[in-house]
Structure 1
Amino acid sequence: MESEEIMAGVVLRLARTEDAEALCAAFVENRKHLEPWEPHRPESYFTVPVQARRLADQLRHHAEGRVAPWLLEADGRIVGGLTLNGIALGPFCSAYLGYWLAADQQGRGLATAAVHAVCRAARDGLGLHRIEAATLPENTASQRVLSKCDFTLIGRAPRYLHINGAWRDHHTFQRVLHDDAPAR
């Protein structure tokens, strides 16, 4: 999937190198909103050159089939992102999903629509069998999104990720996309 309108005026599309400035602006605008759910970010993270390097790395990994980075765009601005990381084919056919949504876009069903679209792309375009996602236990909004998108809780991972300055437990979820044999 290159791009898809998932709601009126909201497009989910693959990231591009020229998105660095708009992506940087989105991260600066949503810094406090995202801070509780993300790793500690140095000041340099909130600069265009660092975002340009991040995008270049993601797109290189995308060309290698290891990452699929999408952005949500509404009214000409970036309002969220979804990434499939650690894409593995063969007998595993799996990936890890991460996503974020701008503070002013919460509560519209946008994250749910975007996760559904990424799941379709993972199944139909990438041939993945399953997707895994993890949330902090107190991130009930993200857990609701995953539940609405047919993810099931598979466990609790102690000290799973270093988030906001500490190793934090996470709930882990998965969605099985199909049970066909691996295509490749």
Structure 2
Amino acid sequence: MPFATPLSDDVVLRDVTIDDAAALAEAYTRNRAHLQPWEPARPDDFFTEAAQRRTLDVQLKQAATGHGVFLALASGGDVVGRLNLADIVRGVFQNGNIGYWIDAGLAGRGLMTRAVTALAEHARDDLGLHRLQAGTLPHNTASQAVLTRAGFERFGHAPRYLRISGEWQDHVLYQRILHD
């Protein structure tokens, strides 16, 4: 089922499409320095339309099989952020992991909190998931504030959890239980 919800007068949260490849390459290029401390080290090729098209192709296949939901924050023809629900596990777990980023020029406006909240409601109401999980670097207080405002609670600390910005870094783990 297609997903789209307005976050503000000028930003909508919607499913990504293969046609977003050029806009994603532009968005990642525009936000390269802004995102660098929070993401894996990226080769120069990552910032090209071709690389983004390959990534979108994989993500759209995962979405088609129910293993992920891949969204863009869009303003006009520009991509101004991403919100992904990946690694969906069914069975007794009914869980997925979220990751997100927003354009440097839009940070601090509450857009990502609204986006994460909307995705959590979609995961509960439409996908039947029981739990969402996210991890942040310990010093990423802005991301932690997004999660807390979106109803997530801190539940753990994972030493050397992910290789971010070229180093194995600790993460603070958050979860949101979607059903009582």
Scaled by the length of structure 2, the TM-score of the pair is 0.98
Ranges in structure 1 where 5+ consecutive residues have no aligned partner: 180-184
2:155 aligned with 1:154? yes
What are the residue-to-residue correspondences of 1:138-177 with 2, within 5 Å? 138-177=139-178
What is the deviation of 1:74? 1.3
What is the deviation of 1:10? 1.1
> How many residues were matched structurally?
179
What are the residue-to-residue correspondences of 1:20-35 with 2, within 5 Å? 20-35=21-36
What is the deviation of 1:167? 0.3
2:5 aligned with 1:4? yes
2:102 aligned with 1:75? no
Question: How many angstroms apart in 2 are the aligned matches of 1:89 and 1:4?
Answer: 25
What are the residue-to-residue correspondences of 1:1-184 with 2, within 5 Å? 1-179=2-180
Ranges in structure 2 where 5+ consecutive residues have no aligned partner: none
Question: How many angstroms apart in 2 are the aligned matches of 1:118 and 1:89?
Answer: 17
Whether the aligned pair in 2 keeps the contact of 1:58 and 1:69 (CA below 8 Å) is yes
What is the deviation of 1:75? 3.0
Q: Tell me which amino acid in the other structure corresponds to 2:67.
A: R
Aligned-pair identity in percent equals: 47
Question: How many angstroms apart in 1 are the aligned matches of 2:124 and 2:148?
Answer: 18
Question: How many angstroms apart in 1 are the aligned matches of 2:50 and 2:78?
Answer: 18
What is the deviation of 1:76? 2.4
What is the deviation of 1:46? 0.5
Deviations 1:10-52 (A, max 9, x none): 1100000000000100000000000000000001001110000
* 1:107 partner SS: coil
* 2:7 partner SS: strand
Measured on the aligned residues, the alpha-carbon RMSD in Å equals 0.8
Scaled by the length of structure 1, the TM-score of the pair is 0.95
Whether the aligned pair in 2 keeps the contact of 1:40 and 1:163 (CA below 8 Å) is yes
Question: How many angstroms apart in 1 are the aligned matches of 2:3 and 2:110?
Answer: 21
Whether the aligned pair in 2 keeps the contact of 1:6 and 1:117 (CA below 8 Å) is no
> After the TM superposition, which segments of 4 or more aligned residues of structure 1 sit over 3 Å from their partners?
none
